[in-house]
């Protein structure tokens, strides 16, 4: 009698091998749960001769016991394989047979007949290893951060660390540093964007270290924490290791500058690029000394963005708030340079791997490579931050392989100890609206130390302390004034310290009284004074335009009624708030000059200069002409450099004469008629005084006579 199997079965189930059975089930050809339904065999079926129905018996009842047991063993093994495979993979059932069959054929053995060799992985383990899909999210397990990363990353990549993938239209250096956390545009694309750069690593044999060596990640501990803490990141946070390479900050800045200089030389666009902050307005490259002075000193002091990188202590404190301290290995670049094998050992122990190869520092900077002025400018800026770093590492020990105590960075200059108060040795005393801002900006940009604006003070106090001309501030005394210049010593800018308050011209006695105090030491003997004189009526016109501009700004902000107490109140008619003409303003100035009001005495130059010379050595007072500053700024620059005994970089710019369209640019003849009689005799007296009282040798002599720009003589 023919045996009939389950209708869904096309072959004899019992004679199939375990492998074939699993293959058919997993491929979907025998998707019906045949193993759960007894296979029935007809014992003759309906006998047409006797008309009796014979019972349909289970297959098991017709099979000899040994065969049945063998079949059951095969079935159980098959189910075991299925359960094992399904427990370790998310792969669909339709994908498994093909993968498993290929593996079995490649091994050329029957998985049922062969017993596992205990010295090898079991077939089950090999199936799991080959079939189990890689995680969909793959993140670096090592972040290499800060200075000297190229030295360490080159060694790690050569030792087998997996590079991030560079996608189409991305620069080649993304193969070492993804620049994900430090670029808003890339970071905003999220975890998957970052993870895709490392998906290929999981397909590579032996890729146990997935490395991102982006130095500027130092600035973004919160972003790293936020990415690695996401559910999709799995256990990435727990396995993450952070390596910080800290280089003496001045060396670090020079190394960064050299990279910028190299890229600048290779670029066709000299003004746009990551190196643009090291480029002059004319497109030429700054020297490192110029870069230190004009860029680094200002930005490091203000702790702005990228320029904060060398302030290591501040950053590590933030990292330690978000990550386990044992996840952070802090290395000193000096050790990589001087004892690379020791540094290599620390990294290998930290990562738990013997990586081989040799770590060596190739970017070595000697002290003599750094300009002395750059050292003097930069080292003091990092001194306090370095102490914060040493204290943090001492009080918060890291992994056992970390250097302890952390070696202090090489200090090239000793901190200057000073006793007494710090007072400016240069005063730019005036006159207001005579080009003092242009001169002050040029000097400050060349390393002359400016006053510090304290919290709550207006920003322009970092140019002019407004101490001698402000009763409220002056009454607070010498210490109040000196405190604005304490930072100059800390920053190594003690050679030239300047206050550029133009209205100081009216207060020689106050200056003398402060500098003569015992607490001032010998400051008065070192003090140098610079004054710029502008034709008085022209100066009044400039002042008038400035006041009108400020009034219109206030009016636009709906502060029109807020005039009393402002410095521009004298350009506005009290009755209706309309602006006076310049001639009307001159009438007002003439009236107050005649009664001796202090605010309107600035242009009475000769009276002021006589008072200064009475109290101070004439050779310490340099008198400059605004007309020369306007028409020949390089000559004025030369005079100032000779007077101060220092050669400065860059050119002293011409003063701004354009301004807004609403400015009164020429002096009406009617205004000259009002003020010329007031100033004529004073100007003549000034010329005579300067000729009879010669100043320092670089001063213009004879002093040029003023020229009035009027609408009648243009």
Residue 604 annotated in ligand binding: no
- Does 549 lie in the same domain as 527? yes
pLDDT exceeds cutoff 70 at 561? no
**Residues whose CB falls within 8 Å of the CB of residue 88, separated by 6 or more in sequence, listed in order:** 128, 131, 132
The mean of the pLDDT values for the chain is 80
Residues 197 and 344 in one domain: yes
Angle in degrees, CA 332, 338, 341, rounded to 5 = 85
Chain CA centroid to CA 205, Å: 37
Identify which of 211-220, 643-652, 668-677 has the greatest average pLDDT: 211-220
Give the count of beta carbons closer than 10 Å to the beta carbon of residue 129.
11
Look at residue 220 and tell me if it is in a domain: yes
Q: What is the number of structural domains in the chain?
A: 3
Residue at which a domain ends, from 131, 160, 188: 131
Which helix (H) or strand (E) is 471 found in, with range? helix 471-474
Residues 359-374: what's their mean pLDDT? 79
pLDDT of 589 reads 78
Domain span at residue 372 reads 142-395
Cβ burial 310-348 (10 Å sphere, 16+ → b, else e): bbbbebbeebbeebeeebbbbbbbbbbbeebeebbebbb
For the ranges 37-41, 322-326, 399-403, 451-455, the lowest mean pLDDT is seen at 37-41
**Residue 63 predicted with pLDDT over 60:** no
Is 106 assigned a ligand-binding role in the annotation? no
Confidence of residue 386 (pLDDT cuts 50, 70, 90): very high
Local structure of 530: helix, strand or coil: strand
pLDDT computed for residue 78 by the predictor: 66
**CA distances from residue 312 to 330, 367, 389 in whole angstroms, order as listed:** 11, 21, 6
149-164: average pLDDT:
92
State the average pLDDT over residues 612-619. 97
Q: Do 99 and 209 fall into the same domain?
A: no
How many Å apart are CA 427 and CA 448, to the nearest integer?
11
- Is residue 497 a part of any domain in this protein? yes
What's the CA dihedral at 184, 189, 192, 196 to 10 degrees? -70
Q: How far is Cα 352 from Cα 141, in angstroms, rounded to an integer?
A: 13
Residue 253 has pLDDT above 60, yes or no: yes
Distance CA 229, CA 232 (A): 8
Q: Does residue 102 sit in the same domain as residue 237? A: no
Residue in 316, 314, 309, 353 with CA at minimum distance from that of residue 331: 316
In the prediction, which pLDDT does 107 show?
A: 41
- Average pLDDT over every residue of 390-416: 91
User: Mean pLDDT across the stretch 550-564?
Assistant: 66
Bridge partners, residue 42, by sequence: 56
Q: Is residue 237 part of a domain?
A: yes
Last residue of a domain, which of 102, 131, 160?
Answer: 131
What is the tens place of the pLDDT at every residue in 521-554?
999 999 999 999 999 999 888 888 988 888 888 7
Whole-number Å distance between alpha carbons of 53 and 44? 9
Q: Is residue 382 assigned to a domain?
A: yes
Domain shared by 535 and 458, yes or no: yes
Residue in 23, 241, 433, 547 annotated catalytic: 433
* Least reliable range by pLDDT among 292-306, 365-379, 539-553: 292-306
Nearest alpha carbon to residue 149 among 187, 172, 176: 176
Of 7-16, 84-93, 133-142, 317-326, the one with minimum mean pLDDT is: 7-16
pLDDT of residue 32: 42
* Mean pLDDT for the stretch of residues 211-230: 96
Residue 21 to residue 30: CA distance in whole angstroms: 9
CA distances to 145, 154, 177, 354, 585 from 357, rounded to whole Å, are: 21, 11, 21, 9, 81
Rounded percentage of the chain residues whose pLDDT exceeds 90: 48
In contact, 121 and 129? CB cutoff 8 Å: yes
- b vs e for 224-247, b when ≥16 Cβ sit within 10 Å of the residue's Cβ? bbebbeeeebeebbeebbbbbbbb
Question: Is the domain of 291 the same as that of 158?
Answer: yes
342 counts as catalytic: no
- In angstroms, the CA 693 to CA 618 distance is 8
Task: Flag whether 374 is in a domain.
Answer: yes
Q: Which residues pair with 211 in a beta bridge?
A: 142
The answer to whether residues 457 and 478 belong to one domain is yes
**Could you tell me the end-to-end alpha-carbon distance of the chain, in angstroms, rounded to an integer?**
130
CA distances to 2, 113, 226, 240 from 506, in Å: 127, 109, 59, 65
pLDDT at position 56 is 46
Cβ-contact 347, 329 below 8 angstroms: yes
Q: Is the pLDDT of residue 233 over 90?
A: yes
pLDDT digits (tens, 9 = 90+) for 481-499: 999 999 888 777 888 999 9
Q: Write out pLDDT tens, residues 418-448.
A: 557 899 999 999 888 889 999 999 999 888 9
Helix and strand totals (H; E) in the chain? 28, 10
**Do the domain assignments include residue 401?**
no
Res 571: pLDDT: 82
Task: Average the pLDDT over 324-330 and give the result.
Answer: 98
Distances (CA, A) of 288 to 264, 491, 652: 14, 17, 20
- Per-residue model confidence (pLDDT) at position 683: 94
Q: Based on the fold, state whether residues 535 and 664 are members of the same structural domain.
A: yes
Q: Which residues contact 702 (CB under 8 A, 6 or more apart)?
A: 687, 690, 691
23 found inside a domain:
yes
Average pLDDT on 214-218 reads: 94
What is the model's pLDDT at position 261? 93
Give backbone dihedrals phi and psi of 209, rounded to 5 degrees, phi first: -110, 120
The pLDDT of 616-637, averaged and rounded, is: 96
At 204, which CATH number?
3.40.50.300
306 pLDDT tier (thresholds 50, 70, 90): low
Query: What integer pLDDT is reported at residue 546 of this predicted model?
Result: 86
Query: What pLDDT, on the 0 to 100 scale, is given for residue 429?
Result: 95
Q: Do 49 and 165 sit in the same domain of this protein?
A: no
Q: How far is CA 687 from the centre of its chain?
A: 54
d(CA 4, CA 42): 7
CA 70 → CA 37, 112, 196, 290, distances in Å?
18, 12, 49, 89
- 377/458 same-domain check: no
175 domain residue, yes or no? yes
Q: Both 338 and 431 in a single domain?
A: no
Q: What is the pLDDT of residue 383?
A: 87
pLDDT of residue 320: 97
- Please tell me the distance from the alpha carbon of residue 340 to that of residue 333, in angstroms, as a whole number: 9
CA distance 325 to 316: 10
Same domain, 248 and 218: yes
Higher-confidence residue of 263 and 119: namely 263
Instruction: Kindly state the average pLDDT of the residues 612-636.
Output: 96
The three-point CA angle 28-30-31 to 5° equals 60
């Amino acid at each position: 009698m023919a045996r009939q199997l389950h209708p869904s079965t096309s072959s004899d189930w019992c004679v199939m091998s375990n492998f074939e059975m699993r293959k058919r089930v997993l491929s979907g050809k025998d998707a019906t749960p045949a193993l759960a339904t007894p296979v029935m065999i007809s014992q003759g079926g309906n006998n047409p001769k006797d008309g009796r129905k014979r019972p349909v018996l289970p297959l098991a009842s017709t099979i000899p016991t040994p065969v049945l047991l063998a079949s059951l063993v095969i079935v159980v093994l098959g189910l075991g394989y299925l359960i094992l495979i399904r427990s370790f993979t998310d792969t669909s059932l339709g994908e498994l047979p093909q993968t498993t069959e290929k593996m079995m054929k490649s091994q050329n053995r029957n998985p049922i007949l062969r017993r596992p060799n205990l010295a090898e992985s079991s077939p089950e383990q090999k199936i799991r290893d080959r079939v189990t899909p890689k995680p969909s999210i793959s993140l670096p397990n090592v972040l290499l951060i800060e200075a000297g990363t190229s030295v360490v990353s080159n060694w790690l990549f050569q030792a087998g660390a997996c590079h991030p993938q560079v996608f189409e239209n991305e620069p080649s250096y993304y193969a070492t540093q993804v620049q994900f956390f430090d670029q808003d545009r890339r970071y905003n694309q999220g975890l998957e964007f970052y993870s895709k750069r490392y998906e290929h690593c999981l397909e590579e044999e032996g890729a146990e270290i997935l490395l991102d060596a982006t130095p500027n990640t130092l600035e973004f501990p919160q972003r790293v924490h936020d990415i690695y803490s996401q559910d999709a990141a799995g256990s990435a946070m727990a396995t993450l290791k952070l390596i910080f390479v800290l280089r003496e900050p001045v060396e670090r800045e020079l190394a960064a500058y050299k990279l910028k200089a190299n890229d600048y030389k290779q670029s066709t666009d000299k003004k746009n690029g990551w190196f643009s902050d090291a480029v002059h307005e004319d497109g030429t490259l700054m020297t490192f000394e110029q870069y230190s002075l004009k860029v680094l000193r200002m930005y490091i002091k203000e702790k702005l963005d990228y320029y904060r990188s060398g302030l290591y202590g501040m950053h590590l404190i933030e990292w330690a708030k978000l990550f386990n301290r044992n996840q952070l290995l802090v290395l000193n670049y000096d050790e990589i340079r001087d004892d690379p094998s020791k540094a290599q050992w620390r990294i290998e122990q930290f990562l738990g791997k013997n990586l081989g190869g040799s770590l060596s520092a190739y970017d070595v900077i000697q002290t003599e490579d750094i300009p002395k002025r750059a050292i003097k400018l930069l080292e003091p800026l990092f001194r306090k931050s370095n102490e914060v770093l040493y204290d943090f590492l001492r009080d918060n020990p890291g992994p056992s392989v970390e250097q302890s105590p952390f070696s202090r960075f090489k200090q090239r200059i000793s901190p200057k100890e000073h006793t007494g108060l710090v007072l400016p040795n240069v005063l730019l005393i005036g006159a207001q609206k005579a080009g003092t801002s242009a001169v002050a900006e040029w000097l400050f940009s060349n390393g002359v130390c400016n006053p510090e604006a304290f919290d709550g003070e207006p920003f322009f106090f970092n140019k002019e302390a407004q101490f001698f001309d402000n009763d409220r501030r002056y009454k607070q005394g010498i210490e109040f004034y000196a405190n604005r210049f304490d930072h100059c010593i800390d920053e190594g800018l003690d050679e030239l310290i300047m206050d550029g308050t133009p209205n100081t011209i009216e207060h020689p006695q106050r200056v003398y009284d402060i500098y003569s105090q015992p607490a001032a030491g010998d400051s008065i003997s070192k003090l140098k004074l610079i004054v710029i004189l502008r034709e008085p009526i022209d100066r009044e016109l400039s002042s008038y335009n400035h006041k009108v501009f400020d009034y219109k700004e206030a009016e636009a902000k709906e502060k029109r009624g807020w005039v009393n107490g402002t410095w521009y109140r004298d350009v506005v008619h009290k009755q209706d708030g309309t602006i006076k003409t310049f001639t009307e303003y001159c009438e007002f100035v003439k009236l107050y000059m005649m009664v001796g009001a202090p605010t309107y005495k600035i242009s009475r130059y000769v009276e002021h200069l006589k008072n200064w010379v009475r109290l101070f050595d004439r050779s310490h007072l340099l008198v400059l002409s605004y007309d020369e500053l306007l028409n020949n700024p390089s000559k004025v620059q030369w005079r100032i450099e000779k007077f101060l005994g220092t050669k400065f970089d860059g050119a002293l710019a011409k003063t701004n004469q354009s301004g807004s369209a609403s400015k009164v640019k020429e002096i009406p003849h009617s205004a000259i008629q009002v003020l010329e009689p007031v100033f004529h005799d004073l100007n003549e007296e000034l010329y005579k005084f300067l000729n009879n009282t010669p100043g320092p040798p670089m001063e213009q002599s004879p002093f040029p006579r003023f020229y009035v720009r009027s609408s009648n003589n243009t």
